[in-house]
Amino acid sequence: MLKVLITGGSGLVGSSIKNIVKENNDNEYIFLSSKKCDLRNEVSVDTFFNECKPDIVIHLANVVAGLYGNINNNYKMLVDNVKINTNILEACKKYKIKRLINILSTCVFGNDLNYPLTSNQMYDKMPDSSNEGYSVSKRFLDTGSKLLTRCSKLQVVNIIPTNLYGLNDNFNLHEGHVLPALIHKCFIAKKNLEERLCKSSDSFNSIGNTSCKLIIKGLGKSLRQFVYAHDLAKIILHFIDCKLEKQFNQLIVGPPVKDEISIKELVNKIVKIFDFNGEIIYDSNFQEGQRKKTVDDSELLTYIPDFKFTPLETGLKKTIDYFIDNYDTVRK
Ligand code: NDP
């Protein structure tokens, strides 16, 4: 039996792992949140590792924000996350952890590279300025873990996923990532529209009210690929005890190129599931972040040849149902 520590255990990916392993007694899983241990604090991390003594570390914890949170807090994103990542690497070294599985992000890649992206292009250009702090802290984790494999027996798997979404996401309208924030916005616009239509016999007046409109920041032209967090959780669990040919491993995790969609297409899918028929406005006063970060599934398939991603429509429906059913308690 392996003792597996999951940092960021209370987040989107952490809770997806928890859902899968709750009936699995093969290993012991410890889900860590910031309340139990602030990973920015070196002493707290050392004390925790000394008491916990894990065999494997799945490192998910990260100070995260959506596009606009990143733009406004780039310095904090860099400093807090470099502290967290340094403390984790140092603890892995000191406590002789067997395997470290890190989650990076396709934000680490600069613009205008060769598409679909390959992990060896990570350092070819600077990351997009919108999320420079967050992305450089991920590059630091990548290089730090690689260098650590050269002076220890630690095995490293650096997973580089595209945008994630799913149950227990952060649906905050300002700090959430694009997909969960859009779900929340559409929910509010639909609710307002229904309430107005109930109160007024004149539906045209009602539709003129801005709270009944779905207002999107930017023109919706950016292209993205989305991975259901449950899928990423399954991939992470595969790497806990699979045989690795190399000590340092890096792989992009994203669906095939054909699954790339614009934010506008994503909005249309969300609106369809909500059956929202109010007005949709794209506000050109807002930035849209990186234009594209196209990946494919080829690196993943070299490790897990038969892996199939959950179709976006299926994952979206489950996530929206979860959001509506748990509206009072969801992270928002
Ligand atoms: P969440 O935002 O859902 O969760 C973040 C987790 O980090 C929480 O468990 C939080 O704990 C923990 N955390 C934050 N600050 C600290 C701290 N100072 N000390 C200890 N723990 C802390 O993240 P996700 O599950 O969405 O992301 C998991 C990983 O995947 C991250 O590394 C992220 O960068 C990466 N990723 C995410 C993408 C996405 O679209 N969501 C896309 C690509 C990569 P608490 O709840 O107690 O605050």
The DSSP-derived string for 110-163 is -SS--SS--GGGTTSSPPPGGGHHHHHHHHHHHHHHHHHHHTSS-EEEEEEE-E
Nearest to 154 by CA among 98, 210, 229, 219: 98
CA 180 to chain centre: 11
Across all residues in the chain, what is the average pLDDT?
93
44 lines ligand 1 (CB under 6 A): no
Integer angstrom CA distances of residue 76 from 8, 70, 140, 171, 259: 18, 9, 15, 21, 33
Residue 173 is predicted with a pLDDT of: 92
pLDDT in tens, 187-228: 999 999 888 776 765 444 444 556 789 999 999 999 999 999
CA of 37 to the centre of ligand 1 (A): 14
Residue 207 is predicted with a pLDDT of: 46
Please give the number of the atom of ligand 1 that sits closest to the Cα of 10. Answer: 9
pLDDT in tens, 115-165: 999 999 999 999 999 899 999 999 999 999 999 999 999 999 999 999 999
The percentage of the chain sitting over the pLDDT mark of 70, rounded to a whole number, equals: 96
Q: In this model, does residue 46 exceed pLDDT 60? A: yes
Range 28-39 average pLDDT: 97
Nearest to 4 by CA among 23, 38, 32: 32
Residue 97 is predicted with a pLDDT of: 98
Residue 210 is predicted with a pLDDT of: 65
- Radius of gyration of the CA atoms of the chain, in A: 21
Please give the number of the atom of ligand 1 that sits closest to the Cα of 170. Answer: 3
Start-to-end CA distance of the chain, whole Å, equals 37
Residue nearest atom 21 of ligand 1, based on CA coordinates: 34
Tell me how long the chain is. Answer: 332
Please give the number of the atom of ligand 1 that sits closest to the Cα of 134. Answer: 34
Active centre residues (catalytic): 134
Query: At 106, is the secondary structure helix, strand, or coil?
Result: helix
58 lines ligand 1 (CB under 6 A): no
CA of 332 to the centre of ligand 1 (A): 15
182 lines ligand 1 (CB under 6 A): no
Residue 67 is predicted with a pLDDT of: 75
Enter the pTM of the model: 0.94
